[in-house]
Amino acid sequence: MKKYPRSQLFSFIKKSAAVLFALEVGAFGGLYYVYNRMNTDRDFRYYMSNNYSFGLEVFYSVGEYLNKQDKTREFDQHIWSKQFPVSDSKREESLVKQE
């Protein structure tokens, strides 16, 4: 039985598929970790609202889409307004941004 050498193209495709799979698994794991922290930790949600507001907006939007009675956004805003009072000018700026 004669053995034929594998083509370099097949080897390249095989390695590329393995790397792509590893990247997808890593990305999924990272996103799950961030979602889990946002879902269970209000302080992390506050950090996200100050630094990565787009990510927190996606989190709230998904929650409100899946559960119409989800009040996490309002509850967080209520707690944060008591915990971290801001001046009226900053509050007005944040309300303008939300509109």
The pLDDT of residue 3: 75
Give the least confident one: 3-7, 19-23, 77-81, 87-91: 87-91
Residue 64's closest CA among 53, 48, 75? Answer: 75
Distance CA 3, CA 18 (A): 25
Show the tokens assigned to 18.
């393995």
Locate the domains of the chain by residue range.
8-40, 41-99
What confidence tens digit (pLDDT) does each residue in 35-80 have? 999 999 999 999 999 999 999 999 999 999 999 898 999 999 999 8
Assess contact for 46 and 38: CB atoms under 8 A.
no
